[in-house]
Structure 1
């Protein structure tokens, strides 16, 4: 091109912004999906430990650490590699590995702690472990569904607003 700049270079900031938005939506979708799926190992471990131990404080911490370890192995490690493959295009390898490991570690820690708190809280009111599981299951299902809907509805809503402005 003589005397002019490449017109594709003007679209580059928009494309980077779209990729960052897509990355954040993907990571948050994975978070809400693993939030919902994490209740099953948390409940299983909580049920087993609570049936053997009388002390609720000790059973809470034992089930928390075991479910944290299990959720890190089952749910967060596949997400670690997925997030790593996405972040590797944006950051250097060491930084992307550190960020993805920190995200998956924090995800497992938060989910295990939250689900064990929910199970302990509902168990203290209901005294039936199966009923407390159903309450915590529906609460985590509702929260994860609400988060997924809010995340995935936002780009559709922005596209509708943009289409109405251009029309």
Structure 2
């Protein structure tokens, strides 16, 4: 997390990101780090049952004071919410993305997340900002190999492993020859 904050601070201005946005990203990463470390220090806590939502009460209507002048409000600066926004904004954070993906495959980290589900809620904004899919519920089963598409067909020209077997033509069907291979009259 410290290295990610350092990259944001160093490369943010070089990538023509406005200084207030760089500062906001840096603060957000620092807050996530502090929340994560505090949750680790507290240790695993049992989940509490959810309380029912209170019924909304009717608010007393008051008339606004017309004597006040309405000053235009400045637009509040917010962070993007799209998938992988930080990684797309600063591609130099790719090492952190790889590290976060690698951590999910680590059995001890998966056990830590399973023991303390609040950590998942804390890490979700970071994983979303980096474009890493965080599993929705533990356990993560890190012993299973990841499912990857074989690239062998690209390199060696072999058929795709998922491609269906070619259907052999029926013996009754007439065979069409390619025009280049037809016999030429002599």
TM-score for both structures, normalised by structure 1: 0.26
Between Structure 1 and Structure 2, whose CA radius of gyration is higher? 2
Which structure is higher in helix share?
Answer: 1
